[in-house]
């Protein structure tokens, strides 16, 4: 493998064989020092696989570290960081492969983590995305917040996971050791067909970060594709290493991006009443944060709504284009009730307690 700069790949793509493992990093040299050796060791020495590190405008010496310590690992340098989504928008079109594996820099992989998920993609052309089981790097026996054992949304668009519902993280006791169709896969690590990624428009650059992977999965589901969770592939995610959980920045992007996602993907008959209802529920969340003394997080909700409404014509233009590609929409993974009500009012705080099997 050779090292390539962004300038060197402007005119030509990099042939990655069948699978391109794409690790996106921003000022994460300390994480690369710790985790990259294990990732390198896990990628088969085969023409079918290539590991690519995308340096998204780092200023911490990452390019020099990669050149000196991992000269045989292909790297792409993006000079200016314009967000998580832009890192992939600039790099993936340069990588020729059948499948991409999108990997965050704060993920530790396990031996043999690649092959089971690739096998699922190869076995069923209607499967567009596969997520591995994601456990916590710090609490090794627990599922991790961002993805756990596969993601779902409820009827109002609130995301949740097998193994993580709001503030409740379950221990992994084998209760979700199956391959199951889900609704969304975590941006911390997922496998995707390259052609499906590009024809769908890929990750929406307007999201910058947070819930962009749910939006992508929803668009693909609306085209009839499947999203799967594969427990035979396992990784460990640090979580919050890039943007701290519960921070105002994360709160802003989660509330703003979730509303954008609803506008882009909901059927018209549902959007006309679900969007106003969600705005009302956001208002309740605002007052709860105020009551809990989380003033900065509460103000982030106001900022999120301001940005959402200011650019509303843009979101509806995107919706118009996206709706053109909707065909045989696949709703498997949408919980038919309110997970918020079930969790907070009915105290159903694990996925198993919902007594719901997706697709049934």
Residue-wise pLDDT tens digits, 30-55: 999 999 999 999 999 999 999 999 99
Judge if 170 and 54 occupy the same domain. yes
- As a whole number of angstroms, the distance between CA 283 and CA 305 comes to 10
Dmax (CA) for the chain in angstroms is: 57
Contact 113, 21 (CB under 8 A): no
Torsion sign (Cα): 86, 164, 34, 99: negative
Judge if 79 and 160 occupy the same domain. yes
The separation between CA 159 and the C-alpha centre of its own chain, rounded to angstroms, equals: 12
pLDDT score of 244: 56
Judge if 184 and 298 occupy the same domain. no
The separation between CA 142 and the C-alpha centre of its own chain, rounded to angstroms, equals: 19
Q: Please check the confidence at residue 23 and state whether its pLDDT lies above 70.
A: yes
Strands 127-136, 226-237: parallel, antiparallel or unpaired by DSSP?
Answer: parallel
Percent of the chain with pLDDT over 90: 89
Q: Tell me whether residue 346 is in a domain.
A: no
The CATH number of residue 229's host domain is 3.90.550.10
Domain span holding position 78: 7-237
Judge if 157 and 47 occupy the same domain. yes
Judge if 158 and 45 occupy the same domain. yes
pLDDT (tens digit per residue) in 120-148: 999 999 999 999 999 999 999 999 999 99
Judge if 228 and 292 occupy the same domain. no
Q: Please check the confidence at residue 5 and state whether its pLDDT lies above 60.
A: no
Q: Tell me whether residue 45 is in a domain.
A: yes
- Count of domains forming the chain: 2
Judge if 260 and 218 occupy the same domain. no
Judge if 229 and 154 occupy the same domain. yes
- pLDDT band per the 50, 70, 90 thresholds, residue 4: very low
Q: Tell me whether residue 341 is in a domain.
A: no
pLDDT (mean) for 226-249:
83
- As a whole number of angstroms, the distance between CA 267 and CA 259 comes to 14
Contact 61, 49 (CB under 8 A): no
Judge if 271 and 218 occupy the same domain. no
pLDDT score of 239: 80
* 186 closest CA partner among 166, 225, 216, 155: 216
- As a whole number of angstroms, the distance between CA 261 and CA 205 comes to 13
Considering the entire predicted model, what is its pTM?
Answer: 0.94
């Amino acid at each position: 493998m050779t090292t390539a700069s962004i300038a060197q790949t402007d005119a030509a793509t990099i042939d990655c064989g069948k699978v391109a493992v794409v690790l996106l990093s921003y000022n994460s040299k300390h994480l690369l020092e710790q985790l990259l050796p294990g990732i390198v060791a896990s990628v088969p020495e085969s023409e079918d696989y290539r590991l690519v590190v995308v340096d998204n405008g780092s200023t911490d010496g990452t390019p020099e570290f990669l050149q000196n310590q991992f000269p045989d690992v292909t790297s792409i340098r993006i000079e200016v960081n314009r967000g998580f989504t832009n890192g992939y928008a600039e790099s993936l079109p340069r990588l020729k492969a059948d499948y991409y594996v999108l990997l965050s820099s704060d993920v530790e992989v396990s031996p043999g983590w690649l092959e089971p998920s690739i096998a699922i993609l190869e076995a069923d052309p209607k499967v567009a995305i596969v997520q591995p089981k994601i456990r916590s790097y710090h609490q090794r026996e627990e599922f991790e917040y961002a993805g756990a054992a596969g993601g779902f949304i409820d009827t109002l668009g609130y995301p949740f996971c097998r193994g993580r519902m709001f503030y409740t993280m379950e221990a992994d006791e084998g209760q979700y050791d199956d391959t199951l169709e889900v609704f969304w896969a975590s941006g911390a690590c997922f496998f995707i067909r390259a052609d499906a990624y590009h024809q769908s428009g890929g990750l929406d650059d307007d999201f910058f970060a947070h819930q962009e992977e749910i939006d992508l999965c929803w668009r693909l589901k609306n085209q009839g594709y499947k999203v799967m969770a594969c427990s035979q592939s396992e990784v460990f995610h640090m979580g919050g290493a890039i943007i701290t959980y519960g921070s105002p920045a994360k709160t802003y992007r989660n509330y703003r991006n979730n509303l954008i996602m609803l506008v882009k993907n909901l059927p018209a008959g549902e959007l006309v009443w679900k969007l106003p209802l969600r705005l009302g529920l956001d208002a309740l969340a605002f007052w709860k944060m105020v009551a809990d003394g989380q003033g900065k997080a509460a103000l982030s909700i106001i900022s999120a709504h301001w940005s959402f409404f200011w650019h509303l014509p843009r979101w509806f233009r995107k919706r118009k284009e996206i709706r053109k590609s909707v065909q045989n929409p696949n709703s498997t993974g949408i919980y038919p009730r309110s997970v918020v009500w079930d969790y907070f009012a009915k105290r159903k705080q694990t996925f198993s307690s919902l007594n719901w099997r997706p697709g049934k």
